């Protein structure tokens, strides 16, 4: 919904009232029906950071995605963040590793504190086990420009886990970027049905080379390495799954 559209084309009393209130607070005696000299608009943005086809050395290919969308103002925003994959040829539908709906507030120039609810499981199917979380996130940029997303989640069964994602854009030319990224997850509880052990669960690192044909559209290629640790690794072994893996990816980064 666009506030300006309402004000200019419809001129509804509600919008006028909003403008009036803003102005009355400023207290410079402007008549109530005058518009505000500077009008702020809420806006939204969608970043598909990764939409990629991954080919591991072992196991099945997968379509992987990682997006975040927000709507709001400069300080308060509503976020929808999702990460998931669809393993090809396993006969199962796609799965969200996480799908979070978060209220976000700018608490420092480079930092947003986010809180809300999260979901893990299948997309509209029961192919995958599912669970819900309470989520707290700190999203921002640390000095030296590492974009960082640190999260703490508590599941509906009371299991506590933490994750840390960080990525960096190394500018090779004005349009060619090399992006190293790292993801770590850890858990305070053992959750065997999700293959999660106590302690450090896994580390995943990746390196992607992207070319920004347009700021909003950039294809990339890259590779990753991942490894499970501790009980999590033992559970994977018991299931006959690999504990350490490398693979290559090709995908697109885009935003609006």
Report DSSP state, residue 110: T
> Can residue 1 be called a binding residue for other proteins (CB under 8 A)?
no
Q: What is the closest distance, in whole angstroms, from the C-beta atom of residue 158 to other proteins in the complex?
A: 36
> Can residue 4 be called a binding residue for other proteins (CB under 8 A)?
yes
Q: Are strands 170-171 and 217-228 parallel, antiparallel or unpaired?
A: unpaired
Residues from 68 through 127 that contact other proteins (CB under 8 A): 74, 106, 108-110
Residue placing its CB nearer to other proteins in the complex, 37 or 158: 37
**Helices (H), ranges, the chain:** 3-5, 13-26, 230-238
Q: What is the closest distance, in whole angstroms, from the C-beta atom of residue 87 to other proteins in the complex?
A: 32
Q: Give the DSSP H/E element, type plus range, for residue 19.
A: helix 13-26
Q: What is the tally of helices (H) and strands (E) in the chain?
A: 3, 13
> Can residue 252 be called a binding residue for other proteins (CB under 8 A)?
no
- Residues 1, 37, 126, 239: which binds other proteins (CB under 8 A)? 37
- Residues 172, 188, 238, 250: which binds other proteins (CB under 8 A)? 172
Residue 49: both structure tokens together: 């950071």
Query: Of the ranges 28-36, 86-94, 159-167, 191-199, which one interacts with other proteins (CB under 8 A)?
Result: 28-36
DSSP 178-189: EEEEEEEEEESS
Asked whether the CA dihedral 46, 49, 52, 54 is positive or negative, the reply is negative
- Residues 170, 188, 238, 250: which binds other proteins (CB under 8 A)? 170
Residue placing its CB nearer to other proteins in the complex, 20 or 120: 20
Q: What is the closest distance, in whole angstroms, from the C-beta atom of residue 173 to other proteins in the complex?
A: 6
- Residues 16, 101, 136, 152: which binds other proteins (CB under 8 A)? 16
> Can residue 143 be called a binding residue for other proteins (CB under 8 A)?
yes
Residue 194: both structure tokens together: 């999700």
Cβ-contact 101, 79 below 8 angstroms:
yes
Cβ-contact 229, 247 below 8 angstroms:
no
What is the signed CA dihedral for 218, 223, 229, 231, rounded to 10 degrees?
Answer: 80
> Can residue 21 be called a binding residue for other proteins (CB under 8 A)?
no
User: By the criterion CB under 8 A, which residues form the site for other proteins?
Assistant: 4, 8, 11-13, 16, 22-23, 25-31, 33-40, 43, 45, 74, 106, 108-110, 141, 143-145, 170-175, 215-216, 255
């Amino acid at each position: 919904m666009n506030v300006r559209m309402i004000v200019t084309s419809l001129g509804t009393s509600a919008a006028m009232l909003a403008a009036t209130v803003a102005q009355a607070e400023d207290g410079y005696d402007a008549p109530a029906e005058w518009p505000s000299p500077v009008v702020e608009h809420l806006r939204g943005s969608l970043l598909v950071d990764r939409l990629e086809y991954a080919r591991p050395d072992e196991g099945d290919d997968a379509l992987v995605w990682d997006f975040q969308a927000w709507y709001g103002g400069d300080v308060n925003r509503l976020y929808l963040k999702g990460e998931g994959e669809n393993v090809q040829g396993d006969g199962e539908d796609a799965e969200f590793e996480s799908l979070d709906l978060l209220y976000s507030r700018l608490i420092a120039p480079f930092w947003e504190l986010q809180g809300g609810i999260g979901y893990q499981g299948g997309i509209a199917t029961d192919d995958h086990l599912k669970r819900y979380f309470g989520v707290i996130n700190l999203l921002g940029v640390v000095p030296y420009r590492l974009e960082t997303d640190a999260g703490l989640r508590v599941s509906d069964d009371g299991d506590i886990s933490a994750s840390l994602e960080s990525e960096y854009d190394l500018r090779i030319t004005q349009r060619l970027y090399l992006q190293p990224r790292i993801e770590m997850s850890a858990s305070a509880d053992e959750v065997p049905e999700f293959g999660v052990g106590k302690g450090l669960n896994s580390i995943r690192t990746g390196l992607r080379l992207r070319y920004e044909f347009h700021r909003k559209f950039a294809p990339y290629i890259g590779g990753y390495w991942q490894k499970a640790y501790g009980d999590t690794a033992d559970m994977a072994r018991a299931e006959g799954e690999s504990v350490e893996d490398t693979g290559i990816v090709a995908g697109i980064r885009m935003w609006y």
